Amino acid sequence: MFRLAIFFTVLGAGLLAWAVPGSGEPRAAATKPQKVWVQDNFFDRRSIQIAPNEKVVWIWKGMNRHNVRFTKVPKGAQRGGSKTKTEGGRWRRVFKVEGTYRYICKLYTGMRGTITVKAPPPPESKSTAILPSQ
């Protein structure tokens, strides 16, 4: 009976994955998006580092209108940016190309931020032995 219950649980999960659109596709990055708060009048955090294919979401918190416009991107990456939004607004972008991205808010001078996209170092081939404690 226990085995049967497991079988149906697995079957149920499988059907659920099949029924939810897009859930069967491999996910590029399982990590949650990095958050940048759009405040009056600064980006919080102003500078972040992420891995390639990671997602960044800007969340508008201030009372003023703001936008995110890229002024410098690595070769092969799109500039682009968000529309002007107000409190509660959100905008997300996935960063595929490694390098440094600089952006500003066009409405307020001095409101700027940086995204550094860099692949994490490969895992060390030599694993550290964990000695049992005595």
Between residues 61 and 96, which has the closer beta carbon with respect to Cu ion?
61
* Binding status of residue 108 toward Cu ion by CB under 5 A: yes
Comparing CA positions, the residue from 96, 81, 98, 113 lying closest to residue 29 is 96
Q: From residue 15 to residue 54, what is the string marking binding to Cu ion with x (rule CB under 5 A)?
A: ----------------------------------------
Near Cu ion by CB under 5 A: residue from 66, 103, 104, 113: 66
Task: Please name the residue that has the structure tokens 């940048």.
Answer: 36
Q: Which is closer to Cu ion, CB of 18 or CB of 37?
A: 37
Alpha helix segments (H runs only) across the chain: 2-19
Nearest-angstrom CA–CA distance, 14 and 6: 12
Closest contact distance (angstroms) between CB of 10 and Cu ion is 50
Check if the beta carbon of residue 66 is closer than 8 Å to that of residue 84. Answer: yes
Please identify, using beta-carbon distances, which residue of 13 and 107 lies nearer to Cu ion: 107
Please identify which residue in 59, 68, 73, 111 interacts with Cu ion, judged by CB under 5 A.
111
Residue 62: partners with Cβ closer than 8 Å, 6 or more residues away = 38, 39, 40, 41, 87
Where does this chain bind Cu ion (CB under 5 A)? 66, 105, 107-108, 111
